[in-house]
Structure 1
Amino acid sequence: MMPRSVLIFLTLAAALVAAAPWLRVPAAIAQPGAPAPAVPLPPPVNRSGIDTDALRADVKGSEEAQRQLREDLEAAKGDRGRLNQMLLDTAARTRAVEQQLIDVEGRIVQLDRSAADLNTSLGKRRGVLAQVLAALLRMGREPPPAILMRPDDALDAVRSAILLGALLPELRVEAETLASDLSELSRVRTELAAARDRLTTLRADLDEDSRRLAALVGERQKRQAEEHPVASSDKAQAESVAKATGDVHDLVTRLENEVAPSARAADAAQAVTRPQEAGRPDLAALKDPARLTPAIAFPQAKGLLPLPVAGVTVRTFGAADGVGGSEKGMTIATRAGAPVSAPADGWVVYAGPFRSYGQLLIINAGGGYHILMAGMERITVDLGQFVLAGEPVGVMGGLSRTVGGTVQRGPGGSGASAQNGSPSPGTATGQPQLYVEFRKDGSSIDPTPWWAATDIQKVRG
């Protein structure tokens, strides 16, 4: 009669062998003299690497999306509010998908690391575990104690009993450890497969939304150029002022005094914000996509503004900048090509290159408040243009910008040079980074109180 403990080990061994093909005991050990099992042939390989059914479905879906977009643009002709609403909706959806992609990609990195650690652990014990499994299988074919002793030899019987008693606890520990590791590896692989499937779906959604957003932005700028053209001389003057100015505060002052579109924007901002600051904010005004002035005064927008881009905050306002000072704004590491939106209603007073900032966008939000954003590869709005909170204004590049061989960390208070210091998680992977700075009457202020409740944890985290 086979002992119960041996039966348990044999059952467990069979399960382990089935779960981990690379740990299977060779046929010569498990079944001496038995013929090798037949190996099934793999299914035919699609050498073209193209899933024609999926390709046809993608083409059909893309054509349908393009047709719908053409119909939407046609319906929005002459309707600024409708076009703006489509822009806001698409930008919000794109930002949400971007954030989901960031979360899923981060989870995949963690799962890949866990799977690699488990495989390494199993690999280091491969020889020991193979011997354990082989011993279990042999015990199953020739149940103890008959294989370990001869009935006519009492001394051998005692020795065999001692050996079996010492061996079984070790086999139990090894078997249980192996079962635990293989179970965890199976769970990780299942979750990893699900995450990768989710990643594929999100990327497809993002591609479609990105194409739609680009078309809508193009249509918006076309109408902007027709209705409020910016003279080439004004653009040239703005660039000349930027080249001749070394400080952001001076840049804003000169632009709003010397460049016509920027001056008109400053006048409009000053005219509409003063009466609003005295009363309670009209939150219903935020729902009007056709508005041409800020829905509420900037000081009253605390806790309402959306982050301008999906990503991970790698530097916060007031943190040490690595060169003896403190950060004047916040830096967000993003995905390559991520769309950037205006955090608040306001007028564009500058859009172009400036010193170490690279492509710099300055929005006058009224009441002496300005929003600075730098690190974009491309800005998609013009001087003097009024933009809504959440409206797309630029696009991130593919890699972090570098200055003098050091990764650009975001401009400092004066913007005279790039800051140095320890690299962030974003710089380690070459992720593009968006620098955001809020200013009140020329002085940097902490933007954290302005972000919406759903984004506060992302800023602090």
Structure 2
Amino acid sequence: MAAAAWVLALVCVPAGAQEARPAPPAAVEAPSDAAARRATTRAELEAIQHDVELGRERQAEIRREIDALERDRTRVAERLVESATRTRALEAALTAGEARIDGLDGRAAVIRASLSARRGVLADVLAALQRIGRKPPPAILVRPEDARGAVRSAILVGALLPGLRAEAETLLADLEALEALKATAAGERDRYRAEAGDLASERTRLELLIEERRRSKSDQERRLADESRRTAESAQKAAGLEELIGRLDREAVVRPPPPEAEKKLAALGDAGRLQPAFAFAEARGKLPQPVGGPVVRHWGEDDGFGAPSRGVTFAARTDARVSSPCDGWVIFLGPFRSYGKLLIINGGGGYHVVLAGLARIDVEAGQFVLAGEPVGTMGGGGPAATTTAAGPERSALYVEFRKDNTSIDPSPWWASTRDEKVRG
């Protein structure tokens, strides 16, 4: 039975006596085993991301690309929106890849459990081969394909009794399925590594563009500093979000755009605009979602504290880039009450967009931002009221739309995603 021991080791089952073989139970992965497997898979995928580093030549190439913009605000804004869009797509692709790999690993674990439950059949098959003089040396059984070949040989040469033959055919199907899953998982991991490299490149470009945006507005620094001080003072005085937005609106200083910019406000495609391309009320079905993750708590659903949610919660990657859903002016940024780091954008016409749960904010008070322009980055966790909705492996981004300081359902404003279009 030496050959049997090699095959048993192959499927991670200790070799042992098989005097009585009861009917195998249905193969089910234990919850603790599933959790451990997911943790192992996630650690492996995180290691892949950390291993992907841009070479010096690629970094220099991206830097030259950004330097060529020559602090042109319109061109910088265009590249920012384009890069943020690509980054969101790549982040979504990585998330989908992680789900596929986890699913493949889970299916492989179930098959291994099934093989373990029928280890006696495996021993009987090899014993039958030995009886007819087919004694494959242990060395050829160290790979799954060799184990599969041994079982197939036993079936083809008729070495098995009818009852054992049916079990052996099921065993063969499991071994073939396991091999197919391993090949598919290997391909998914290669794809994941390539996408992680693309994302690292795009994030480098995005960070350099954000830095270029900071440099290009040095002439506005004094005004933006004044805005920051004003919003900080307002936050200290306000008791709640409604009062904060009302106070900021009352204190807002209306600044008309320079004459040369007024001619550029009509088209949404003009990245140099300094006012919204169209009224917020007309933007239904046109606004991009701020992150690529799914909505895990909708407007009006229980917020976890027995009250209806005034906004929506997205489950984002812990390092996801966050983009502005609309054109508008940043009227507040910074920590506020239980919201954590808060960003409020005035979309005009009495509309405001609230983003909460960011780890880093890359814009300044008083700054005009475009729909799709990056405004910050997610980190671990999020506001206490929303973290649990995102799950343990995602960050929670809370988004609230307000009209005349009253929360409204944002779902009619989102542009349809590709997945929604496919679903019809």
Counterpart in the other structure of 2:35? none
Residues in 2 aligned to 1:456 and 1:141: alpha-carbon distance in whole angstroms: 54
What amino acid maps onto 1:122 in structure 2? L
Counterpart in the other structure of 2:254? 264
Compared CA separation, residues 318 and 231, structure 1 to 2 (3 A): closer
Residues in 1 aligned to 2:328 and 2:226: alpha-carbon distance in whole angstroms: 23
Counterpart in the other structure of 1:448? 411
Residues in 2 aligned to 1:23 and 1:90: alpha-carbon distance in whole angstroms: 46
Counterpart in the other structure of 1:347? 329
Residues in 1 aligned to 2:208 and 2:68: alpha-carbon distance in whole angstroms: 15
Compared CA separation, residues 95 and 402, structure 1 to 2 (3 A): closer
Name the SS for the 2:217 alignment partner.
helix
Counterpart in the other structure of 2:219? 226
Counterpart in the other structure of 1:210? 203
Residues in 1 aligned to 2:280 and 2:9: alpha-carbon distance in whole angstroms: 61
CA offset at residue 73 of structure 1? 3.0
Counterpart in the other structure of 1:287? 269
Structure 1 position 400 matched with structure 2 position 381? yes
Contact 2:334–2:341 (CA under 8 A) maintained in structure 1:
yes
Counterpart in the other structure of 2:163? 170
Structure 1 position 457 matched with structure 2 position 415? no
Residues in 2 aligned to 1:82 and 1:141: alpha-carbon distance in whole angstroms: 73
Structure 1-normalised TM-score? Answer: 0.70
Residues in 2 aligned to 1:137 and 1:307: alpha-carbon distance in whole angstroms: 64
Residues in 2 aligned to 1:441 and 1:171: alpha-carbon distance in whole angstroms: 75
Name the SS for the 2:391 alignment partner.
helix
Contact 1:317–1:328 (CA under 8 A) maintained in structure 2:
yes
What amino acid maps onto 1:446 in structure 2? D
Q: Which has the higher Rg, Structure 1 or Structure 2? A: 1
Q: 1:302 aligns with which of 284, 308, 311?
A: 284
Residues in 1 aligned to 2:57 and 2:218: alpha-carbon distance in whole angstroms: 29
Alignment RMSD: 3.2
**Number of aligned residues:** 354
Compared CA separation, residues 334 and 218, structure 1 to 2 (3 A): same
Compared CA separation, residues 363 and 377, structure 1 to 2 (3 A): same
Contact 2:246–2:405 (CA under 8 A) maintained in structure 1:
no
Aligned counterparts, 1:242-391, within 5 A: 242-258=235-251, 262-264=252-254, 285-391=267-373
Compared CA separation, residues 315 and 455, structure 1 to 2 (3 A): farther
CA offset at residue 335 of structure 1? 1.3
Contact 1:306–1:455 (CA under 8 A) maintained in structure 2:
no
Counterpart in the other structure of 1:409? 386
Residues in 2 aligned to 1:209 and 1:288: alpha-carbon distance in whole angstroms: 23
Name the SS for the 1:293 alignment partner.
coil
Contact 1:309–1:339 (CA under 8 A) maintained in structure 2:
yes
CA offset at residue 322 of structure 1? 3.0
What amino acid maps onto 1:264 in structure 2? V
Identity of aligned residues (%): 45
Name the SS for the 2:345 alignment partner.
strand
Name the SS for the 2:80 alignment partner.
helix
Name the SS for the 1:433 alignment partner.
strand
Q: Deviations over 1:213-244 (max 9, x none)?
A: 11110110222243353364542332222122
Compared CA separation, residues 168 and 221, structure 1 to 2 (3 A): same
Name the SS for the 1:263 alignment partner.
coil
Structure 2-normalised TM-score? Answer: 0.76
Residues in 1 aligned to 2:124 and 2:70: alpha-carbon distance in whole angstroms: 76
Contact 2:280–2:347 (CA under 8 A) maintained in structure 1:
yes
Compared CA separation, residues 131 and 393, structure 1 to 2 (3 A): same
CA offset at residue 255 of structure 1? 1.5
